[in-house]
Chains A and B, each alone.
Chain A
């Protein structure tokens, strides 16, 4: 190493003008750890919420589940003149949600897909 052990260790670079003692740093570290632990303790919710946007159909109540769980398929919504095609991850109804395989990763909204009902006969 090229630096010849200075009398008092000095900080370089972005810490150039930092004036802090090891003792204060220790306190900062402990305070940060305490904040993290408290935030985890108080931030732990009861799980993740899935909201269902029925996009004009009858309302579907939101459900709560834990991370990595499969969702139970809710009662399909009703809408006059339309046929329900399933739940989708995006409002453009391109990415269907597979209730048998997709697991919950975060709070999210699922969108109802609708096709206009065919007039039979």
Chain B
């Protein structure tokens, strides 16, 4: 990589050498290509002006916490997008695994405990539960991956159906043992401490432990994407499956593994979500995949396939969360939030296409 300062100087010289008409076009191009970042900046400035406590350590802690919570799903779904696919089942898988974590880790003496004969909640059982829910997520991912890889079905079809099937299982699960669809509450203190225990405080706001877990997870995913044969195969299949096949890449196995890994990530996200929501309701995780997909596209994991970086996903999640922290502080109502989310996704895709079309 070239020195960024030299790069910048070269760009400035190139810009000076342009004709006035080209100059204007270059400026407009730059503004449009960075529209979402500029918009974010405007929101931040506007929010800071309207709500002075937006620029506090507390809201930084809030932002970091939210990024840590939304990152795992985006990291998982990123792989599916690299394969020019998508995963619509992510949110529901997270809901199911959150419910399962909650049920397995309820307080021993809780009156409405769903299953009575569970082991006592200690660190070992918490870790075991985490592995169980990750395995469950991976299993659903494996089913997705199998149908996508074996029959070359579009992931849209496969994951839409697993999304609905998973929701059915969630509803069935919530009606077990006379629970009657009630949210799962009474989570054990050890579980809450393990996931959401305070690491340190920024201002008056606690930074929970899962922020540290998210850092570890990001490092792990970076390693998988960049340093393993599997990661390289994933990009090869994403940019051109035929060519990858000819050069000896096992397309079937790679596709299966990408979806399985994504499923495992949703499982982990569910394990965190159980604590975050306090009590798990049947509609937990609804539409969560939209946020994750939007974050990936904003971060440059393109739908053209075969391109994307972990750092981009982290950036995308940060941008999206910063926008939503600002909007929440402004008190924008939830109906408008949905409109804004939709517009952000469309805008991010248009920007993504523009990058490829406007290239000369």
Contact = CB atoms under 8 A, between A and B. Distances in A.
Interface in A10-52: 11-15, 18, 20-22, 25-26, 28-30, 32-33, 35-37, 39-40, 42-48
Nearest to B42: A37
Residue in B112, B278, B336 with the greatest tally of chain A CB atoms within 10 Å: B336
A12 B336 contact: no
Contact of B359 (A9, A15, A105): A9
Nearest to A35: B343
B78 to A, nearest CB: 14
A39 B304 contact: no
A44 B43 CA distance: 13
Contact of A33 (B35, B279, B336): B35
A68 interface: yes
Residue in A11, A14, A18, A106 with the greatest tally of chain B CB atoms within 10 Å: A14
Contact of A29 (B84, B304, B335, B354): B354
Contact of A90 (B278, B330, B354): B278
B159 interface: no
Interface residues of B, number: 49
Nearest to B352: A15
B350 A25 contact: yes
Nearest to A26: B32
A67 interface: yes
Give the interface residue-count category, chain A: 35 or more
Given A46-B331, A92-B186, A32 B278 contact: no
A59 to B, nearest CB: 25
A89 interface: yes
A66 B186 contact: no
Given A29-B35, A32-B346, A22 B331 contact: no
A43 B278 CA distance: 28
Interface in B298-322: 302-306
Contacts of A9: 356-357, 359
A32 B347 contact: yes
B357 A22 contact: yes
B340 A36 contact: yes
A95 interface: yes
A29 B351 contact: yes
A11 B278 contact: no
Given A15-B303, A15-B304, A89-B278, A25 B343 contact: no
Nearest to A46: B331
B279 A90 contact: yes
Interface string B321-360: 0000001111111111101100110110011111011110
A78 to B, nearest CB: 26
Contact of B329 (A12, A15, A37, A67): A67
Contact of B330 (A15, A26, A35, A40): A40
B357 A11 contact: yes
A73 interface: no
Nearest to B329: A67
Contacts of B43: 40
Contacts of B228: none
B342 to A, nearest CB: 8
A46 to B, nearest CB: 7
Contacts of A30: 32
Interface of A: 9, 11-15, 18, 20-22, 25-26, 28-30, 32-33, 35-37, 39-40, 42-48, 66-68, 89-90, 92, 94-95, 105-107
Of all A-B residue pairs in the complex, the 8 with the closest CB atoms, nearest first, are: A43-B336, A13-B305, A32-B347, A13-B84, A14-B303, A13-B304, A43-B332, A35-B343
Interface of B: 32, 35, 39, 43, 51, 53, 58-59, 84, 86, 112, 183, 185-186, 238-239, 278-279, 302-306, 327-337, 339-340, 343-344, 346-347, 350-354, 356-359
22 contacts: A9-B356, A13-B303, A14-B305, A15-B356, A25-B350, A25-B353, A25-B354, A32-B343, A32-B344, A32-B347, A33-B347, A36-B343, A36-B347, A39-B340, A39-B343, A42-B336, A43-B339, A90-B185, A90-B278, A92-B185, A92-B186, A94-B186
